[in-house]
């Protein structure tokens, strides 16, 4: 039996791994954004019903988290 070895460019492996990693990050970001959006919508509804400063602060915190997540993803690309 004769084995044929095909040399694969290690650079191709790195590119494929990076693409998989970016796809996973995209999926995680979509899930996180969806959850944050739902939470923010709930907080906005509560805030409209009852002007509560604590809810407003929570909403501001969620916006900050969303911005930080977006910056993190863009920095990794």
Domain boundaries, the chain: 23-76
pLDDT band at 33 (very low <50, low <70, confident <90, very high): confident
CA 8/CA 62 separation, integer angstroms? 45
Residue tagged 């509804």 (tokens): 45
CA 33/CA 57 separation, integer angstroms? 19
CA 46/CA 33 separation, integer angstroms? 20
**What CA–CA distances, in Å, run from 36 to 25, 59, 61?**
16, 10, 11
pLDDT band at 61 (very low <50, low <70, confident <90, very high): confident
Mean pLDDT score, 11-22: 82
- Whole-number pLDDT of residue 24: 87
């Amino acid at each position: 039996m004769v084995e044929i070895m095909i040399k694969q460019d290690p650079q191709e492996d790195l590119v494929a791994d990076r693409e998989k990693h970016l796809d996973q990050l995209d999926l995680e970001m979509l899930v996180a954004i969806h959850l944050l959006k739902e939470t923010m919508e709930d907080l906005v509804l509560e805030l409209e019903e009852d002007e509560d400063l604590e809810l407003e602060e929570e909403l501001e915190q969620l916006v900050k988290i969303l911005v930080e997540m977006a910056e993190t993803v863009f920095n990794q690309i």
